[in-house]
Amino acid sequence: MIKRSFFSLTKPRLKYPVVEKHKEKAVREIPLPRKVTLFFKPSGATNNNMPVQVGDKVKTGQKLQLGEKSTDYLISTVTGNISGISEYIGYLRQSYTAISIDTAKEDQWVYEFSETGKTSLREKTLDFFGSLPGDPDFASILSVQPPVNTVVVNGIDQDLLVTTNQVIVRTQIERLKEGIANLKEIFSGSRLIIAVAPDLVPEARKTGVEVLSVKPSYPDTLPKMIMKNLLRKEVAPGKTCEEMGVGFVNAEAVVALAGAFSEGKMPVTKMITVIGKDNAAVNVIARIGTPVGDILNALQIQTSHGDALVLGGPMTGRAVYSEDAPVLYDTDALMVQDKEQIVRSSDTHCVNCGECVRACPARVPANMLIRLLENGLYEEAVEQYDLLSCIECGLCSYVCIAQIPLFHYIMLGKYEFARIKTAEESNV
């Protein structure tokens, strides 16, 4: 493994928008959709042995077991009838089980979470909050061994133009305080920090925990950059922040946790920053599983053939090819691009200009890396050119004059290497 400095002499200075003071009414609520679709990545359950079946009635907040002998589950975000169970192939060919629910007009809530006999907050969280709005894999922070010793509440957003977590800090500070009190009990003995942009430091101090001021400059807001710049810890190649003892929890997830414990209801909505063709942004709240087309219709945003729909922000977002694509636990933004605005990727070979290397905050030699990734040499990319050191900021694609989709090649490379490694370990 090549050991490289985690510094860059020059990189693009991309600034985040400053979030002005918002009122609660500034966040629009999307009407209940006619249908929601929930995705689940199965770990063993199949459609043939799932206890839930097409035609079953479900209630809002109901825990849907996905295997007779499995602990896998989904939380129904609406009341209605299951209308479809199918396989869905997503980003990087990952396979999911998709459950569609036809929505009833009114919610009938299930209070299974609040009625459980377990008294420990940590036990309840492990049993019911494997996913939270803004933190789709919250369970990994809870279950990592050894346990994390530092928890950072992320009050900033990880992509440009996105303001979801910033709005949460600005508008829901009291509920955020409640959630942080919950975190103190769940992660007993851990250091608790909240990270925010400089203009939100006064609000963050109201939570009563240590505050870190993060420069609103991309990619300084990414967890691995916060680890290095503010916590003085570098994440080793191939390791996660959790494995280095630090868990990052989005402010939205903390607020959702507080609402669940105070109201006894499972969190079923997601705040999303919707970015229009003119780059104007509005924050909305929608049920998890809502088709993005319903959000666009509610906001009267028109799309036409050739326009792009992106789940996420401009640096790391992922294009979707249908307005039926649902809002998921990690959908922080929905961006619409006019067909005339889209910068098309090309199949041009690298011209070796070096812009990607200069822009990379981890100093990964992306110009050499792409040569191996284009040819499917994933193990060589890890061993020779630091594939696993990439912090997934997307700056390499942003500056590429040949318009090569470097970021997506890198994400594919990491995914394929993980598959190779898993296959090798299973054959030992």
Residue with more model confidence, 7 or 342: 342
Residue with more model confidence, 152 or 348: 152
Domain count, the chain: 3
> Residue 87 burial (CB < 10 Å; 0-12/13-18/19+)?
exposed
Residue type (1 letter), 161: L
pTM value surpassing 0.85: yes
Domain boundary among 69, 104, 139: 104
Residues 260 and 276 in one domain: yes
Whether the upstream peptide bond of residue 216 has omega within 30° of 0, thus cis, is: no
Per-residue pLDDT at 119: 67
Per-residue pLDDT at 190: 94
pLDDT for residue 314 is more than 80: yes
Residues 211 and 309 in one domain: yes
Per-residue pLDDT at 204: 96
22-26, 32-36, 57-61, 245-249: segment of lowest average pLDDT: 22-26
Residue 5 lies in a domain: no
Residue 222 lies in a domain: yes
pLDDT in tens, 361-391: 999 999 999 999 999 999 999 999 999 999 9
Strand partners, 212: 195
pLDDT for residue 8 is more than 50: no
Residue 9 lies in a domain: no
Residues 375 and 305 in one domain: no
132-141, 148-157, 160-169, 177-186: segment of lowest average pLDDT: 132-141
Residues 394 and 366 in one domain: yes
Residues 164 and 249 in one domain: yes
Range of the domain at 113: 18-32+109-342
Residues 211 and 318 in one domain: yes
The whole-number average pLDDT for the span 284-299 is: 97
Residue 8 lies in a domain: no
Q: How many CB atoms lie within 10 A of CB 400?
A: 25
Residues 268 and 332 in one domain: yes
Tokens coding 368: 């050499």
Which residues, at least 6 apart from 300, have a Cβ–Cβ distance to it below 8 Å? Answer: none
What length is written for the chain? 428
pLDDT in tens, 188-207: 999 999 999 999 999 999 99
Strand partners, 58: 80
pLDDT for residue 2 is more than 50: no
Q: What percent of the chain has pLDDT over 70?
A: 92
Q: How confident is the model at residue 13 (pLDDT cuts 50, 70, 90)?
A: confident
pLDDT for residue 95 is more than 90: no
Whether the upstream peptide bond of residue 146 has omega within 30° of 0, thus cis, is: yes
Residues 88 and 214 in one domain: no
Residue type (1 letter), 58: V
CA distance 277 to 307: 9
Q: How confident is the model at residue 20 (pLDDT cuts 50, 70, 90)?
A: low
Domain boundary among 104, 127, 162: 104
Residue 408 lies in a domain: yes
Q: What percent of the chain has pLDDT over 90?
A: 71
Per-residue pLDDT at 123: 83
Per-residue pLDDT at 153: 97
Q: In 52-162, where do the E strands start and end?
A: 57-58, 63-65, 73-75, 80-89, 95-103, 150-154
Per-residue pLDDT at 231: 95
Q: How confident is the model at residue 92 (pLDDT cuts 50, 70, 90)?
A: confident
Residues 125 and 38 in one domain: no
Residues 61 and 160 in one domain: no
Per-residue pLDDT at 76: 95
pLDDT for residue 286 is more than 90: yes
Q: How confident is the model at residue 44 (pLDDT cuts 50, 70, 90)?
A: low
Instruction: Indicate which CATH number applies to the domain containing 137.
Output: 3.40.50.11540
The whole-number average pLDDT for the span 132-158 is: 92
The whole-number average pLDDT for the span 289-317 is: 95
Per-residue pLDDT at 422: 87
Residue 10 lies in a domain: no
pLDDT in tens, 218-271: 999 999 999 999 999 999 998 999 999 999 999 999 999 999 999 989 999 999
pLDDT for residue 399 is more than 70: yes
The whole-number average pLDDT for the span 73-96 is: 89
Domain boundary among 342, 364, 380: 342
CA distance 336 to 320: 11
The whole-number average pLDDT for the span 318-347 is: 91
Residues 83 and 59 in one domain: yes
Which is nearest to 332 in space by CA: 281, 368, 374?
281
Residue 12 lies in a domain: no
Residue 402 lies in a domain: yes
Per-residue pLDDT at 1: 34
Residues 185 and 115 in one domain: yes
